[in-house]
Amino acid sequence: MSGLEASSNEALELKEEKDFDVELEGNSDFDYRHDPFEYLFYRDRKEWSDLAPVPQDDGPNPVVKIAYSEKFTDVFDYFRALLKNDEKSERAFTLTAEAIELNAANYTVWHYRRVLLQALEKDLRQEMRYITAIIEEQPKNYQVWHHRRMVVEWLSDPSEELEFIADILSQDAKNYHAWQHRQWVIQEYKLWDSELEFVERLLEEDVRNNSAWNQRHFVISHTTGYSDPAILDREVQYCLCQIRKAPHNESVWNYLKGILQDRGLSSHPGLLERVLELKETQCSPYLLAFLVDSYEDSLESNNTRATLNQAQEVCALLAQVKDTIRREYWLFLGRSLESKYGPTAAPQADAADQQEPS
C-alpha cells in the first residue's frame, strides 16, 4: 500500500541548496545553483524561454490559490512542460536532479530520469555517485533504493554495495530499505562470504536489532543451512550467550524458536535445563513463552501430567503477572494445552499424520 511508503518517508522539508559532486557540462545553470543569492527561477532563465511552464493540475482542489514555495512551483511547472513535450535533453536531465531534491518521493521524476539516462547514454558511474549522495540524505524512500538497484544492474557492478549499505546502516541499523537492497545484492551476486561476520558486528553493537537477527537467518539458510548438528548447536550456544548479556530481547528468542521449531524445541539436548537455569537470573516474558513452547513440544511425544502442569503454571504466571497485556493469549494457550493433552483430550493421532505437506 502506498501508505507504507508515506510512513517510511522522512518529513518532506524543503531542502537547502546542497552541493553534490556532479559535473554539469557547460551548463550555465551551474552558477545559479551554487550561489543561493543569485538563484534564478527557470521562468527567468533565457535558455528556458522556449518552454511554456505547465501549472499543477490539482484535480479536485478548490479554486483557492495555495501558497507553496515559489521554487517548488517553478521547478515542477518546468518538469511538467518537459514531460508534456517528451523532451530528452541535458537540461531535462539536470532539472530532474532539482526536482528530486525538492521531492525525492515523486516516482514520475525518477522514471523520467531513468529514461533520460538511457536516451542520453549518461555515465552510469557518475549516476552511482549521484544516487549515493541522495540516499545518504534520504535513506527511507522506496524510489531512491530502486533507482540504485537499476543502476547497479545496468552496470553489472555490485562492488560498492556492501560497504555503502553498511554505511547507511551505521546511521540507522534497522533501515528496512537498506536491508532489502543488501539481501538482493548478496543473493544476486553471491556475496555471502563475509556476511555472517557483518551480522555479528551489528549484533555486538545492538543485540536487539531484529533486522540483524533476520539477516543471520537469511545468511545461514542460504549457505550452510541448519541441518548440520554442529551448526545448529553453534547457533543455540550463540543465542544463549546473547540472552545472558541482554535477557529482555524478543529477537533472540524468536530466532532460537525459529531455528528449532521444525525439529522440535525440546529435541535439543540440554537446552531445557539451560533455559530453566536462565529463568532464575535472566527471566523475561520471552523466556517463559519459550518454556511453554518447549513443554508443549515434549508433550507431543511424551504426554505426562507433570509436564502439562508445568506448562499450565507458566501460562498462568504470564497471564496474571509477567505479561498481563497479552492475558487473552496466555489463557488461550493454557486452554489449548489442556484440551490437547489433558485427561479429556481425544486420543492423539500418529504424529506423522498431523504434518502438513510442505
Partner 1 sequence: MGTQIKDVVIKDDAPNALILDKHADYIAAYGSKKDDYEYTVSEYLRMSGIYWGLTVMDLMSQLPRMNCEEITEFIKSCQHECGGISASIGHDPHLLYTLSAVQILSLYDNVQALDVDKVVEYIKALQQEDGSFAGDKWGEIDTRFSFCAVATLALLGRLDAIDVDKAVEFVLSCMNFDGGFGCRPGSESHAGQIYCCTGFLSLTSQLHRLNADLLGWWLCERQLPSGGLNGRPEKLPDVCYSWWVLASLKIIGRIHWIDKAKLRAFILACQDEETGGFADRPGDMVDPFHTLFGVAGLSLLGEEQVKPVNPVLCMPEDVLRRIGLEPELLS
List active site positions.
Answer: 140
Report the chain's terminal Cα–Cα distance, integer Å.
29
Q: Other CB atoms closer than 10 Å to residue 49's CB: what's the count?
A: 10
Tell me whether residue 4 or residue 306 sits nearer to partner 1 (CB atom).
4
- The verdict on 144 binding partner 1 (CB under 8 A) reads no
Tell me whether residue 106 or residue 267 sits nearer to partner 1 (CB atom).
106
| Residue choice 30, 32, 107, 154 for contact with partner 1 (CB under 8 A) | 107
- From residue 123, give the alpha-carbon distance in Å to each of 37, 126, 129, 158: 31, 5, 10, 16
Distance, C-alpha 180 to centroid of its chain: 6
Residue 212: which of 256, 181, 244, 252 has the closest Cα? Answer: 252
Q: How far is the CB of 250 from partner 1 (least distance, A)?
A: 4
- The verdict on 154 binding partner 1 (CB under 8 A) reads no
| Residue choice 59, 270, 343, 347 for contact with partner 1 (CB under 8 A) | 59
Residue 89, SS3 per DSSP: coil
| Residue choice 325, 346, 349, 352 for contact with partner 1 (CB under 8 A) | 325
Kindly state the number of chain residues that form the binding site for partner 1, as judged by CB under 8 A.
Answer: 74
- The verdict on 52 binding partner 1 (CB under 8 A) reads no
- From residue 14, give the alpha-carbon distance in Å to each of 19, 74, 186, 329: 15, 14, 35, 46
| Residue choice 71, 122, 129, 146 for contact with partner 1 (CB under 8 A) | 146
Each residue 5-44 as x (binds partner 1 by CB under 8 A) or -, in order, gives xxx----x-x------------------------------
Q: How far is the CB of 144 from partner 1 (least distance, A)?
A: 12
Q: Which three cell numbers stand for residue 259?
A: 531455528
The answer to whether 283 and 277 have CB atoms below 8 angstroms apart is no
**Judged by CB under 8 A, which stretch of 129-137, 161-169, 180-188, 271-279 contacts partner 1?**
180-188
**Judged by CB under 8 A, which stretch of 20-28, 36-44, 78-86, 89-97 contacts partner 1?**
78-86
Q: Other CB atoms closer than 10 Å to residue 328's CB: what's the count?
A: 9
Contacts of partner 1 in 81-100 (CB under 8 A)? 83-84
- From residue 320, give the alpha-carbon distance in Å to each of 53, 284, 327, 329: 67, 14, 7, 12
| HSE, side-chain direction, 13 A CA sphere, residue 262 | 9
Tell me whether residue 100 or residue 308 sits nearer to partner 1 (CB atom).
100
Contacts of partner 1 in 265-324 (CB under 8 A)? 282, 289
Q: Other CB atoms closer than 10 Å to residue 123's CB: what's the count?
A: 12
Each residue 241-270 as x (binds partner 1 by CB under 8 A) or -, in order, gives -----xxx-xx--xx-xxx-x---------
CA dist 161 and 159 (Å) reads: 6
| Residue choice 85, 103, 224, 303 for contact with partner 1 (CB under 8 A) | 103
| Residue choice 43, 111, 322, 340 for contact with partner 1 (CB under 8 A) | 111
- The verdict on 61 binding partner 1 (CB under 8 A) reads yes
**Judged by CB under 8 A, which stretch of 34-42, 61-69, 130-138, 302-310 contacts partner 1?**
61-69
Query: For residue 322, what is the DSSP state?
Result: I
Residue 168, SS3 per DSSP: helix
